[in-house]
Amino acid sequence: MKLPTLVNHPPDVSPPPGNLPVIAPIYQSVKYEFETVDDTLRMLRGETPGYFYMRASNPTTRQLELTLAQLQGRDDCLATASGVNAIAQTLIGLTKQGDHILCFVETYGPTRNIIRRLLARFGVEHTMLSIEDMAGIENVLATRPTRLVIFESPTNPITKVADIERLVELAHRHGALAVMDNTFAGFHQHGEYEVDLFVHSLTKYASGTGDVMGGAVIGRRDLIEGLRADFAVLGALLDPHAAFLVQRGLKTYFVRYRDQTRAAQAVAEHLAAHAAVSKVHYPGLPGHPQAALARKQMREAGTVVSFDLKEGGEAARRFSEGLKLFALTASLGSTESLVMAPQLIGTRDFTAEQARQSGIAAGTVRLSIGLEDLGDLIADIDQALAG
Ligand SMILES: Cc1ncc(COP(=O)(O)O)c(C=O)c1O
């Protein structure tokens, strides 16, 4: 073998049988070969297991998919390039021209955008209600054939708690699928409800470190298989290097979620007692409008704490800019604490009535509580409130 040949066919260093790596390697290979055409065809027909081309599947991403499916208590999962990608492709994969979607004012902004702009271009219609309007939800589902209901709980940023059991029961009674964006609650919650498909941003709690993007759709095998074909042609699968980083992040998922939730509870209680604050939105507070429902549905209330400053938008801007330990930016569920000022919370597409229903006020600030020392975080909040 001449050297130019050697560099393209390097020595095989696979560990010998019985000598396995403790951490699965990153399978950073686009192609997977078989010895024969027939073996390749058998695999492509689904008669034998294996991999062929990274865009359709690869072992590193598959390991993450199988882990996430088990965490959420479902059969199967598809990991995608971002959370928004998981949402967009799930909605595209499930709908066709003339279908109707029920979504909510409290739905994550980019999801509203996908439904109202992108899907509308392809003739998919929607109704947008408040997640609190159970009578309206019941009426729409009873009177209009609906392909799917997409909802979140707790919602962003006001942390309203959706009645999952009721929503899912209503959707199923009227022949609609229930799709839940479970990003805020995490993989270990809500699995006991009959939700058909869970979508998640892996960019948040799964990785935890805020250095990688990813998304997932998790559900029954038949639904995931149906989506898999569309996802593959749209080129949406999560890259193996990103999948490896998310898989690594998951090792500390439970301790991070627990410790960050405990700190969030303490921050919420501290803010609730502060004279500058008119309202705190946190499902773990006894005064939360759906505190009993939150206790029933959630073992942990999560790490997002929102609150309204009495003095409104400019005071909220000063507070957000005055924090030293909280990064003024998007996202949540990272080990570092984050803050969103009201001016950055996307509500531009709302009518006046929808803005009222959303519960977002001029002085609403969203905090995502990280893993820093709790005393340091509270001292930082106090100095920013005083400034
Ligand atoms: C509830 C929710 N769903 C989906 C997403 C989108 O995830 P990604 O940023 O990974 O696309 C986010 C991001 O903030 C989110 O908060």
Digit-coded pLDDT (tens) for 27-72: 999 999 999 999 999 999 999 999 999 999 999 999 999 999 999 9
Distance 91 CA to ligand 1 centre (A): 15
Average pLDDT score, the chain: 96
- pLDDT greater than 90 at residue 232: no
Distance 385 CA to ligand 1 centre (A): 28
- Shortest-distance Cα residue to atom 9 of ligand 1: 83
Atom of ligand 1 nearest to the CA of 152: 1
Digit-coded pLDDT (tens) for 99-109: 999 999 999 99
Ligand 1, pocket residues at CB < 6 Å: 82-84, 108, 152, 156, 181, 183-184, 201, 203, 213, 215, 331
What integer pLDDT is reported at residue 297 of this predicted model?
Answer: 98
**Mind spelling out the 3-state secondary structure of the chain?**
CCHHHHHHCCCCCCCCCCCCCCCCCCCCCCECCCCCHHHHHHHHCCCCCCCCECCCCCHHHHHHHHHHHHHHCCCEEEEECCHHHHHHHHHHHHCCCCCEEEEECCCCHHHHHHHHHHHHHCCCEEEEECCCCHHHHHHHHHHCCCCEEEEECCCCCCCCCCCHHHHHHHHHHCCCEEEEECCCCCCCCCCCCCCCEEEEECCCCCCCCCCCCCEEEEECHHHHHHHHHHHHHHCCECCHHHHHHHHHHHCCHHHHHHHHHHHHHHHHHHHHCCCCEEEEECCCCCCCCCHHHHHHHCCCCCCEEEEEECCCHHHHHHHHHHCCCCEECCCCCCCCCEEECHHHCCCCCCCHHHHHHHCCCCCEEEEECCCCCHHHHHHHHHHHHHC
Distance 185 CA to ligand 1 centre (A): 12
Distance 84 CA to ligand 1 centre (A): 6
Total-model pTM = 0.96
Atom of ligand 1 nearest to the CA of 84: 11
Atom of ligand 1 nearest to the CA of 330: 14
